[in-house]
Amino acid sequence: MSKSNEANGQNYRMWNGRVMEYFNLFDFDYKPDHESLMQSTGLLDKNGKEIFEGDTVKQNLCVSYGGDGYGETVDIDSDFIGEVVVLPSKGVCLKKPLVIDNYDGTQTRSNNYLNVRKIRAELIGNVYENPELMEKSNGKG
């Protein structure tokens, strides 16, 4: 099956243990029999790649704002890396992402879910084909 060029939320993929298989709701004869079924989020990353549940995404937050109460400008430049999940109350999120401070290299784990913003999100892998990304993100690598 070919991968769709559009992200409409009706596309699915499934890891069969060897390769990723793609299909959509209109493939009525396709019967997935594996628990690793992932739905498209309907979002494309900043490079135009379709984002699915179970993908590993890196998202950058770079802001500068004046005033920390002492007249100093506060600069934030951090990368957030995590697994994409879809939550009914929050939408498309990174699940408790790893936060890397790009100024000093410190790494911390967020206890929150971070909404995915397609303008800043970059697809870097998925939990099946690139498990080492999540191991690194979870502090095991």
Domain segments of the chain as ranges: 44-137
Three-state helix/strand/coil letters over 62-77:
EEEEECCCCCCEEEEE
Distance CA 66, CA 82 (A): 29
Residue 13's contacts (CB-CB under 8 Å, 6 or more residues apart) are 20, 21, 22, 23, 37, 38, 40, 52
Q: Which token pair is 116?
A: 């995915």
Q: Residue 68 has what pLDDT?
A: 58
pLDDT confidence band for 50 (50 / 70 / 90): very high
Looking at the DSSP bridge assignments, the partners of residue 80 are 59, 99
Highest mean pLDDT among 11-15, 56-60, 65-69, 127-131: 56-60
136 φ, ψ to 5°? -65, -45
Of 130, 122, 107, 108, nearest in space to 54 by CA: 130
Tell which wins on pLDDT, 65 or 17.
Answer: 17
In sequence order, which ranges of 52-130 are alpha helices (DSSP H)?
Answer: none
pTM metric for this prediction:
0.75
Calculate the average pLDDT of the chain: 80
∠ at Cα 104 (103, 108), nearest 5°? 105
Tens-digit pLDDT profile for residues 83-132: 999 998 999 999 999 999 988 999 999 999 999 987 789 999 988 888 88
